Chain A
Amino acid sequence: MKPPAFDYLRAGNISEALEGLAQQGSDARVLAGGQSLMAMLNMRLAKPKLLIDIMRIKELRQIERKGDAVVIGAGVRQADLLAWPDLAEALPLVALALPWVGHMQTRSRGTICGSLAHADPSAEMPLALVALGGEVLLRNARRRRRVVAKDFFAGMMLTARADDELIEGISLPVAKVSRFAFREVARRHGDFAIVACAAMRTPAGVRLAVGGVADVPTARDWPRLEGSALDDALNAFAWELGARDDVHASARYRRDLVRMIGRDLIGEVLQ
């Protein structure tokens, strides 16, 4: 339960971090809040040769409003975002979901982008990113690119980030008049979700995003549906997610939760 040996690089600015990534490639890991990566290292599920600590890079520590979007830097801790005064107004869905991420003792260190990089299929922040249609801002030594949420998550704990790329931040759309709802079922508060759902009203109807069931958080848009049409749509969606049995819950229970929570949340946002 001790990490394997690695070099440790404390990056003073973004170019130093990118240089480390360019040199070491897949043998390097970026260390931000450490709340997922350090556990992986302690359990030796990851064995990098180089850790690049980005938490002393001031320019990554910012939460910025840029027109219709909020840009959250890679060094922004979950507790920093929870304490951001504009959160409830600009990102109401994130305000609902963030208190479900880990515990107060881990949100104080863990970062928003670190949770996205880890890409656990049950985690709340990947679900929020997919539900909101946010973008991940990636950068290597030569270029920058933006990847939309649904293309970023490639599989269970797999993302579209290349080995030499740093997640510089994410961009989330500022909420307009839409209504949002979030609910999660877990063994205890703070545990990974068995099923987590986020719903929002859209111009055309409603969107439901589900985490904890498929390998990646998945969103579905519908026009305004009611009664048995809504039940049928939710049932079809629950089956399409391909739930599996595991030690925490059966596939059937997960489908049940998607149908029940989905119906409740859609009712809430369309009220």
Chain B
Amino acid sequence: MTRLKADSRHAVRFTLNGTSVEAEAEPRMLLSDFLRHQLGATGTHVGCEHGVCGACTIVVDGMLTRSCLTLAAQVDDCELRTVEGLAPSADRLGVLQQAFRRNHALQCGFCTAGILMSLDHYLARNPNPSEAEIRDLLSGHICRCTGYTPIIKAALEAAAELASSNKETSDA
């Protein structure tokens, strides 16, 4: 049994995009704030703070997770993926990110990190999605700029590109 006292800070350790990290948090600290303020990982954005807007969506142990509805203390020993882990290197965008750029699937960018995490997670498990499935997935996010249509187009384009790059090209 672990009981953490309300008025003191406690060590929280987990893996963030493949790297072990550790910092201190009070029990009441939200994971979204822990990522941004304690670890400086400001790619994850904070919108409504009650789980509705989807801006803070990340992946914890393979599960899509609203980081504003999660305490830092809850993810001790877990594996986390955030938007900072999407690009293959600092100077290159991933396939999904490139598709967003080509299609103007972001304007102000506030909602984008969360949407990218949802789509990245979904496309890895559902390589051939229909438009209806993408629309259903996006119902968990709010974007006030794009009207969603460019986001759907980017998602379908990225899915097609990922599917063709994963096709077998050798009998070896």
Contact = CB atoms under 8 A, between A and B. Distances in A.
A9 B2 CA distance: 6
Main secondary structure of the interface of B (DSSP, over half): mixed
Contact of B28 (A2, A108, A190): A2
A7 B106 CA distance: 40
A105 B57 CA distance: 8
A224 to B, nearest CB: 36
B140 A7 contact: no
Nearest to B7: A5
B111 interface: no
Contacts of A25: none
Count chain A CB atoms within 10 A of each CB in B118, B140, B141 and give the residue with the most: B140
Contacts of A53: 73-74
Interface in A96-113: 102-106, 108-109
A11 B73 CA distance: 13
B127 interface: no
B25 to A, nearest CB: 10
B66 interface: yes
Count chain B CB atoms within 10 A of each CB in A2, A7, A8, A104 and give the residue with the most: A8
Interface stretch (B46-54, B88-96, B97-105, B163-171): B46-54
Contact of A3 (B28, B64, B76): B28
Nearest to A189: B139
A70 B137 CA distance: 29
A8 B71 contact: yes
B6 A5 contact: yes
A9 to B, nearest CB: 5
Contact of A189 (B50, B118, B136): B136
Nearest to B73: A8
B27 A8 contact: yes
Interface in B1-31: 1-7, 26-28, 30
Interface residues of B, number: 35
B30 A3 contact: yes
Given A55-B74, A190-B139, A10 B66 contact: no
Contacts, number: 112
Contacts of A188: 139
Contacts of B159: none
Interface in A1-32: 1-12, 16, 31
Nearest to B141: A105
A105 B6 CA distance: 29
Contacts of A106: 51, 66, 69, 140
Interface string B123-143: 000000000000011011100
A190 B73 contact: no
A103 B49 contact: no
A1 B136 contact: no
29 contacts: A1-B50, A2-B49, A3-B30, A4-B28, A7-B5, A7-B6, A8-B71, A10-B76, A12-B1, A12-B2, A31-B74, A34-B74, A35-B51, A35-B66, A38-B68, A42-B69, A43-B50, A49-B6, A53-B74, A77-B63, A102-B140, A104-B136, A104-B137, A105-B65, A105-B140, A106-B66, A106-B140, A108-B65, A109-B63
CB-CB nearest 6 A-B residue pairs: A103-B140, A8-B27, A38-B69, A105-B140, A39-B50, A1-B49
Given A6-B28, A51-B71, A106-B140, 7 more contacts: A2-B33, A3-B71, A5-B27, A10-B1, A34-B70, A42-B50, A103-B139
